[in-house]
Structure 1
Amino acid sequence: MMEEKVMNRWLVVMGAVMVQMCLGAIYAWSVFTGALQEAGWTAAQTQVVFSVALVSYALSMVGAGFKLNVVGPRKMAILGGLILGTGYIIAGLFGGTNFWMLLIFIGIVGGTGIGVGYVVPIAVGMRWFPDKKGLITGLAVAGFGLGAMLWVKLAGTTGNLIANFGLPTTFVILGVLFAVFVTIGGLFMVFPPEGWLPEGYVPETGEAGSTQVAGVEYGAGEMVKTPQFWMIFFTFAFLASAGLMSIGLMQLYPMEALMNNGMDRASAVAVAGTAMAVFFSIANALGRVAWGSISDILGRKNSLIILAFTQGLGVMAFTYMAGTPMLLYIGAALIGFNFGGTLSLFPTLTADTFGSQNVGRNYPLVFLAYGAGALLGPNLGGVMGGMGNFALAFTICGVLCIMGGVLTVLLRPPRRCENVENCAEMEAA
Structure 2
Amino acid sequence: MSQTLKSQTSTAYSAGSSRGRVLLGTVLAQLGLGTVYAWSVLNPALAQRISGDHTQTFPIAITFSIMMISLSVSTLLIGWLQHRFGVRRVLVACGIVLGAGLLVSAFTTSLWMLYLFAGVIVGAADGIGYLLSLTNVLRWYPDKAGAISGVSVGSYGVPAVILPFIVTPVLGNADSGYAGLTTCFILWAVTVIVLIGGGGLLLADAPEIPKDHSHASHEYTIAQMLRRPQAYLLYFGITAFCFAGLFIIGHAGDGAITADDPSKYLIGTAITLVSLVGLVNTIGRFFFGWLSDRVRRTLIVAVALSVLAVFAFVLGLTWLPQPALYIVGFLLFGASFGGCITIYPTIVGDFFGKNSQAKNYSVIYQGFASGALITLIFNILMAQKIITFGTSLLIGSAFLAISAVILFMVRKPGPVE
Q: Specify the alignment match of 1:134 in structure 2.
A: 146
Question: Helix, strand or coil for the counterpart of 1:29?
Answer: helix
Shift of 1:55: 2.8
Provide the C-alpha distance between the structure 1 equivalents of 2:87 and 2:217, rounded to a whole number of angstroms. 22
Provide the C-alpha distance between the structure 2 equivalents of 1:304 and 1:191, rounded to a whole number of angstroms. 30
Q: What are the residue-to-residue correspondences of 1:193-204 with 2, within 5 Å?
A: 193-195=207-209
Q: Specify the alignment match of 2:240 in structure 1.
A: 238
Q: What are the residue-to-residue correspondences of 1:10-409 with 2, within 5 Å?
A: 10-41=20-51, 43=56, 46-92=60-106, 95-97=107-109, 99=111, 101-157=113-169, 166-168=180-182, 170-195=184-209, 216-247=218-249, 273=270, 276-277=273-274, 279-319=276-316, 323-377=321-375, 379-380=377-378, 383=381, 386=385, 391-409=390-408
Question: Helix, strand or coil for the counterpart of 1:412?
Answer: coil
Q: CA contact under 8 A between 1:66 and 1:360: conserved in structure 2?
A: no
- Which deviates more from structure 2 when the two are superposed, residues 231-240 or residues 385-394? 385-394
Question: Helix, strand or coil for the counterpart of 1:60?
Answer: helix
Question: Unaligned stretches of 5+ in structure 1?
Answer: 198-202, 206-212, 419-429
Aligned-residue Cα RMSD (Å) equals 3.8
Q: CA contact under 8 A between 1:73 and 1:120: conserved in structure 2?
A: yes
Per-residue Cα deviation, 1:47-87 (whole angstroms, up to 9, x for no partner): 45444333322222211234323422222211211221233
Q: Figure out how many residues of one structure are paired with residues of the other and give that number.
A: 397
- Which deviates more from structure 2 when the two are superposed, residues 344-353 or residues 8-17? 8-17
Return the index of the structure with the highest Cα Rg. Answer: 1
Q: 1:224 to 1:275 in 2, by over 3 A?
A: farther
Tell me the amino acid that sits aligned with residue 102 of structure 2.
Y
Tell me the amino acid that sits aligned with residue 374 of structure 1.
A
Shift of 1:396: 3.0
Shift of 1:224: 2.4
Shift of 1:252: 6.2
Provide the C-alpha distance between the structure 2 equivalents of 1:393 and 1:236, rounded to a whole number of angstroms. 18
Question: Helix, strand or coil for the counterpart of 1:245?
Answer: helix
Q: CA contact under 8 A between 2:61 and 2:250: conserved in structure 1?
A: no
Provide the C-alpha distance between the structure 2 equivalents of 1:286 and 1:338, rounded to a whole number of angstroms. 10
Shift of 1:344: 0.8
Q: CA contact under 8 A between 1:65 and 1:362: conserved in structure 2?
A: no
* Alignment TM-score, normalising by the size of structure 1: 0.77
- Which deviates more from structure 2 when the two are superposed, residues 367-376 or residues 390-399? 390-399
Q: CA contact under 8 A between 2:255 and 2:270: conserved in structure 1?
A: no
Provide the C-alpha distance between the structure 1 equivalents of 2:279 and 2:75, rounded to a whole number of angstroms. 26
Per-residue Cα deviation, 1:278-298 (whole angstroms, up to 9, x for no partner): 543322221111111111110
Q: CA contact under 8 A between 2:66 and 2:372: conserved in structure 1?
A: no
Provide the C-alpha distance between the structure 2 equivalents of 1:357 and 1:24, rounded to a whole number of angstroms. 25
Q: CA contact under 8 A between 1:96 and 1:168: conserved in structure 2?
A: no
Per-residue Cα deviation, 1:83-105 (whole angstroms, up to 9, x for no partner): 2123334555xx55455554444
Q: CA contact under 8 A between 1:300 and 1:349: conserved in structure 2?
A: yes
Q: 1:396 to 1:108 in 2, by over 3 A?
A: closer
Shift of 1:350: 1.3
Shift of 1:399: 2.5
Q: 1:302 to 1:150 in 2, by over 3 A?
A: same
Tell me the amino acid that sits aligned with residue 297 of structure 2.
R
Question: Unaligned stretches of 5+ in structure 2?
Answer: 1-10
Q: 1:83 to 1:273 in 2, by over 3 A?
A: closer
Q: Specify the alignment match of 1:424 in structure 2.
A: none
